[in-house]
Amino acid sequence: MKGVVFLGERKLALQEFKDPTPGPGEVVLEIKASGMCGSDLKLYRAPLGGGVKDLAVKDLSAPVIAGHEPCGVVAAVGPYVSEAQARVGMRTMVHHYGGCGVCKHCRSGWSQLCLKRFVAYGITEHGAHAQYLKVPAATLVPLPDELSFEVGAAISCGTGTAYAALKRIGLSGRETVAIFGQGPVGLSATQLAKAIGARVIALDVSEERLALAKGFGADVTIDPKKDDPVQAIKELTHGEGAELTMDCSGNPDARLAAIRGTQTWGTMGFVGEGDKLTVDVSTDLMRRQLTLVASWTFSTVGQAECARFVADRRIAVEKVFTHRYRLDQAEEAYKLFDTQSTGKGVLLP
């Protein structure tokens, strides 16, 4: 089979790999959709292996197949996999992490927090930018019949991350929420927050992405290059700031503006990865009784819950995909994604 490999410094290649066969407890999926996530850009841009190191996991000697938003159909089942876990032909997403399976975090569905090891498919092990993917049966999260493979791919990282973060900051629908960064995760957060009933202020430095945010129901859009974002949020919230804010960009200025654009007793959520933050603890946090929340992806249970929510509310998650590609168009796909002006891309092998 063929798979997409990041070679470092914005180079990638479609390489030939042996078709995987499932070992004990494993399944092989035929990939139907493999989403492109913002964190893939970090891996794509970094020197070979450097992106993985930046995500504070490990050094990689040989590149692995990229893609950590897998969705497809079970093609083969290994020994010791029960009928209840997986059947050939089953439509499924993948919770794209593997842990020891027995520590407290693995048992609660948070294998990315495993006390023993860190495995992420598409980052430390082969991922889904390929025709087939081998994973432990325990990582499978069944795809509701109502949802397409593309939507399943989005929920497997970007949209699932947005859903989990909105829950973590306590969005009820009564609030105004300001969402910094309207890339794939931020756009999903805008769409889901609207579905939950909130008033959404969407911020991004890209005109194109602000236009997408409008299409996803954002009540107001702000370009921080043109208008002071803290000032603009305050003007929209009777001078107080938003009850809830969230940074999906990972940009230090955006993080600080999100904190300063949050009203007293409000909550700010960190969602965008990487980089740092300098903050005046007294003025910006303590004297405004702020709550800061850091939210990293979701559990297997959270992923299933997000899928159920999207299906039951008939949320058009597929709108987040502005570009669709074949595997052999991966180079073109990442070149465009690298401009950070588009919605999400998906590889349909």
Applying CB under 5 A, the residues found at the interface with Zn ion are 37, 39, 99-100, 103, 106, 114, 157
Would you say 42 or 199 has its CB closer to Zn ion?
Answer: 42
Nearer to Zn ion (CB atom), residue 118 or residue 309: 118
Q: What is the 3-state secondary structure (H, E, C) of the chain?
A: CEEEEEEECCEEEEEECCCCCCCCCEEEEEEEEEECCHHHHHHHHCCCCHHHHHCCCCCCCCCCECCCCEEEEEEEECCCCCCCCCCCCCEEEECCEECCCCCHHHHCCCHHHCCCCCEEECCCECCCCECEEEEEHHHEEECCCCCCHHHHHHHCCHHHHHHHHHHHCCCCCCCEEEEECCCHHHHHHHHHHHHHCCEEEEECCCHHHHHHHHHCCCCEEECCCCCCHHHHHHHHCCCCCEEEEEECCCCHHHHHHHHHCEEEEEEEEECCCCCCCCCCHHHHHHHHCCEEEECCCCCHHHHHHHHHHHHHCCCCHHHHEEEEECHHHHHHHHHHHCCCCCCEEEECC
- Residue 114 or 256 having the CB closest to Zn ion: 114
Minimum distance, C-beta of residue 228 to Zn ion, in the bound complex (Å): 31
Cβ atoms of 262 and 284 closer than 8 Å: no
Smallest separation, CB 103 to Zn ion (Å): 3
Closest approach of Cβ 185 to Zn ion, in Å? 8
Query: Which residue number, 34 or 131, has a Cβ lying nearer to Zn ion?
Result: 34
In the bound state with Zn ion, the residue whose beta carbon lies nearer, of 262 and 297, is: 297
Please, which residue, 112 or 251, has the CB nearer to Zn ion?
Answer: 112
Q: Which is nearer to Zn ion, 99 or 343 (CB)?
A: 99
Nearer to Zn ion, 100 or 285 (CB): 100
Please list the residues that pair with 344 across neighbouring strands: 321
Pick between residue 1 and residue 103 the one whose CB is nearest to Zn ion: 103
In whole angstroms, the minimum distance from the beta carbon of 333 to Zn ion comes to 15
> Measured from the CB of residue 239, what is the shortest distance to Zn ion in angstroms?
36
Residue with tokens 């957060």, as numbered in its chain: 189
Rounded to 5°, angle at Cα 94 from 89 and 95: 155
Closest distance to Zn ion from the beta carbon of 164 (Å): 12
Smallest gap from residue 188 Cβ to Zn ion (A): 11
Please name the residue that has the structure tokens 């891309």: 345
**Phi, psi (degrees; rounded to nearest 5) at 62:** -105, 140
CB of 306 to Zn ion, least distance (A): 14
C-alpha span between 348 and 252 (Å, rounded): 34
Minimum distance, C-beta of residue 230 to Zn ion, in the bound complex (Å): 28
